[in-house]
Amino acid sequence: MFTPAELLEINTLLVPENKIVILTHYNPDGDAIGSSLGLKHYLKAKGLEAEVVVPNDFPKFLKWMPEAKKNIIGEYKRKVAYDIIHEADVIFCLDFNSPSRIGLLGDWLMKAKAKKILIDHHQQPEDFDFVYSDTVIPATCQMVYHFIQAMDDEKLVNKDIAECLYTGIMTDTGGFRFRSTSATTHKIVANLIEKGADPSIITSNTWDTNTVSRLHLLALILGRIEVVNEGKVAVLYLTRQELQEYGFQKGDTEGFVNYGLSIVGVRMAAFFMEDLYEDFIKISFRSKDDVDVNQFSRKYFNGGGHINAAGGKSLESLPDTIETFKSRIAEENL
């Protein structure tokens, strides 16, 4: 948590005269949108206005969250996003650890005059004016809740805040399954339910929303999962042509990589996907126990994240990227 002195200073920044902006990472997921909107609604409950700016668009299954549709999407509204960041007095940076994780907005963030406040649970955070980083906590949404507690404002938690924070905790813990899910996580979730977050409605809004294109893509990749390295590593992929053919929509491939990790004996899964528009491969890594995909992705694929969940990129072709990956895992003895 921030130190008491930092909290006092943050408190003096949170006044109606200051323009407050909330930024989150590229390809926002449930935790990114949930923490940003949860914080926005908390600030609103304190009588403050804040603007949420995201680098690019996010899936429909996150747009049910209160005020999600008011988020400024940088890729569609560049000038508006630039002006907001440029004029901000305070910028909250949620669920990312480095300006490079927010695309174009990263340059604007670095040049902005605002005080920058980081709340994030990824490994190796970079420099911000105020840093609350804890890699043991499963979701940034949980950290926003701890921040509200530290500000002595738990009484302000309302239904809007609760719904947003519940969503991010649910998605980033894989439905309360992942290792970092703790008793504290569950206690907070219990509070959020008491404040009006409805688990069955939120689960249904967020997860029971399959598109036909998603199911067709899933059938395709499940049919050709490859297991290499003596059964320890699963490889999945999708080409741009397949995405186009099946009518890919944003968010369709969310969670696909977990199917690889669910195979008995597999300790690491990698999912490679050609970008729909630009010539690069987006990679998702997942792992079990002490297999550190954050380090692996930082070392070889220009990425990072958490020990058991990370992302990366490659500028090689898809077949070359997969070949390179296979030689790296052999070298690393995974």
**Residue 171 parent element (H or E):** helix 159-172
> Which of 305, 225, 295, 237 is CA-nearest to residue 265?
225
Asked if 309 touches ligand 5GP (CB under 6 A), the answer is yes
Q: Which is nearer to ligand 5GP, 101 or 195 (CB)?
A: 101
Closest separation in Å from C-beta 331 to Mn ion: 29
Q: Which is nearer to Mn ion, 121 or 195 (CB)?
A: 121
Closest separation in Å from C-beta 96 to ligand 5GP: 7
Q: Which is nearer to ligand 5GP, 10 or 22 (CB)?
A: 22
Write the binding mask 6 to 35 for Mn ion: x where contact by CB under 5 A, - elsewhere: -------------------------x----
Write the binding mask 208 to 237 for ligand 5GP: x where contact by CB under 6 A, - elsewhere: ------------------------------
Closest separation in Å from C-beta 35 to Mn ion: 7
d(CA 80, CA 68): 17
**Residue 119 parent element (H or E):** strand 115-120
Asked if 116 touches ligand 5GP (CB under 6 A), the answer is no
Q: What is the DSSP string of 20-45?
A: EEEEE-SS--HHHHHHHHHHHHHHHH
**Residue 214 parent element (H or E):** helix 212-222
Closest separation in Å from C-beta 29 to ligand 5GP: 6
Asked if 95 touches Mn ion (CB under 5 A), the answer is yes
Dihedral angle of Cα 256, 261, 264, 268, to the nearest 10 degrees: 140
Could you tell which of ligand 5GP, Mn ion, none binds residue 311, using a CB distance below 5 to 8 A set by kind? ligand 5GP
DSSP assignment letter at 261? H
Rounded to the nearest 5 degrees, what angle is found at the Cα of 291, between the Cα atoms of 189 and 284? Answer: 70
Task: Please report, as ranges, the residues that interact with Mn ion according to CB under 5 A.
Answer: 31, 95, 140, 172
